[in-house]
Amino acid sequence: MKQYTAAALILALLGLMLCGCAHTSPELYSVTYWDLFDTVTTVTGRAESQEAFQSVAQGVYDTLLRYHRLFDIYNEYDGVANLKTVNDNAGVAPVAVDPEIIALLLDCREYASLTGGAVNVAMGSVLSLWHDAREADTPYVPDSGVLAEAALHCGWDTVIIDQTAGTVYITDPQQRLDVGAVAKGWAAQRAAEEAPEGLLISVGGNVCATGPKTEDGEAWVVGIQDPDGSSGYLHTLSLTAGAAVTSGDYQRCYTVDGVTYHHIIDPETGMPSEYWRSVTVICADSGLADVLSTALFVLPREYGQALLTQCGAEAMWVDSLGVQYYSPGFADYVRE
């Protein structure tokens, strides 16, 4: 597991604040995990006893941990062929992988098509340049020529997903996969489907409800973080099912020569997208919500709204001046 950076710790605190809203009743239990998807995960829910809740939460954790290991591009695990293995074998050989990796990548290929390439997990070559620049002892801005060269290695025709053989092969030796825009929400969706009703699962900015907070249908309260961090929440939402996912420029960022660079990259430019400070998407499926929040972050609002309409989702955008924009049905979820 990578060391937590200051940015990750801030993200962690935001995640706790997000779930802190939900923990209001003595019948509720909550547990936090720090070792999944390089972010903070909180499971909250009703149970008859601490032991009963712990057992349910452990099930959610175990599912998320399995996906965390499979989708990790930085670390190897004994006996696991994961996405790092696939990346390391780019241009070398097909890798036999767990069917869940095949399932995720098939969905990601669909998502790239759905979003017109706005969310493209096959652009790991570009994303790794930004990752390395951000994580360096002295952070820097990737060279524009190197970024342009990497952008030539982001297509899907060089990612061979063989469902029959159960293998994935990146035929281009310079290409890499990075599923960071999708994996947390996708994994949370799977974990939610396996979990009992009445849980709130938060994986970083991805919050997913498996049913209402109480048996009489009371909704969970989920806060939307102010990207400025100054005034706490911009809104609180009522969620009884489905997911609320935020992509924000404050989540992983660094500053060079007074300019702040964040982690959501516009595939058109290879640079951090400049349209929005944050986008929150509400959608029945947590995986799709994760995809859409990243997609809308790198798209003008009219393109984003078209995607929302197509997917039956709602969103709130916040621009650089702090102005908030809403899709037509977003207000139905706003509590304050």
Residues that bind ligand AMP (CB under 6 A): 119-121, 123, 127, 178, 180-181, 247, 251-252, 263-265, 267, 290, 293-294, 297-298
Measured CA to CA, the distance from residue 90 to residue 101 in angstroms comes to: 16
Per-position DSSP letters for 209-275, written without gaps between them:
ESS-SSTT-PPEEEEEEPTTSSSSEEEEEEESSEEEEEEETTSSEEEETTEEEES-EETTTTEE--S
Q: Which lies closer to Mg ion via its Cβ, residue 115 or residue 294?
A: 294
Q: Tell the smallest beta-carbon distance from residue 294 to ligand AMP (Å).
A: 4
120 binds, among Mg ion, ligand AMP, none (CB under 5 to 8 A by kind): ligand AMP
Q: Tell the smallest beta-carbon distance from residue 140 to ligand AMP (Å).
A: 17
Radius of gyration of the chain, Cα coordinates, nearest whole angstrom = 19
**How many Cβ atoms are within 10 Å of 138's Cβ, its own excluded?**
6
Residue number of the CB closest to Mg ion reads 294
265 binds, among ligand AMP, Mg ion, none (CB under 5 to 8 A by kind): ligand AMP
114, two tokens:
């759905």
Q: Tell the smallest beta-carbon distance from residue 182 to ligand AMP (Å).
A: 7
* Residue numbers 257-316 binding Mg ion by CB under 5 A: 290, 293-294
263 binds, among ligand AMP, Mg ion, none (CB under 5 to 8 A by kind): ligand AMP
Q: Which lies closer to ligand AMP via its Cβ, residue 209 or residue 265?
A: 265
Q: Tell the smallest beta-carbon distance from residue 187 to ligand AMP (Å).
A: 12
Measured CA to CA, the distance from residue 313 to residue 284 in angstroms comes to: 8
Q: For every residue of 82-116, which 3-state class applies, written as one string? A: CHHHHHHCCCCCCEECCHHHHHHHHHHHHHHHHCC
Q: Tell the smallest beta-carbon distance from residue 178 to ligand AMP (Å).
A: 5
Contact 145, 154 (CB under 8 A): no
267 binds, among Mg ion, ligand AMP, none (CB under 5 to 8 A by kind): ligand AMP
Phi/psi zone of residue 6: left (φ > 0), alpha (ψ -120 to 50 degrees), beta? alpha
Q: Tell the smallest beta-carbon distance from residue 151 to Mg ion (Å).
A: 20
Q: Which lies closer to ligand AMP via its Cβ, residue 165 or residue 284?
A: 284
The helix or strand, by DSSP H or E, that contains position 133, with its residue range, turns out to be helix 124-135
Among the candidate windows 43-51, 88-96, 179-187, 235-243, which touches Mg ion by CB under 5 A? Answer: 179-187
Measured CA to CA, the distance from residue 290 to residue 66 in angstroms comes to: 19
* Residue 181 binding Mg ion, by CB under 5 A: yes
286 binds, among Mg ion, ligand AMP, none (CB under 5 to 8 A by kind): none
Contact 102, 169 (CB under 8 A): no
Q: Which lies closer to ligand AMP via its Cβ, residue 29 or residue 42?
A: 42
Q: Tell the smallest beta-carbon distance from residue 293 to Mg ion (Å).
A: 5
Per-position DSSP letters for 265-311, written without gaps between them:
EETTTTEE--S-SEEEEEESSHHHHHHHHHHHHTS-HHHHHHHHHHH
Question: In the complex, which residues of this chain contact Mg ion (CB under 5 A)?
Answer: 181, 290, 293-294
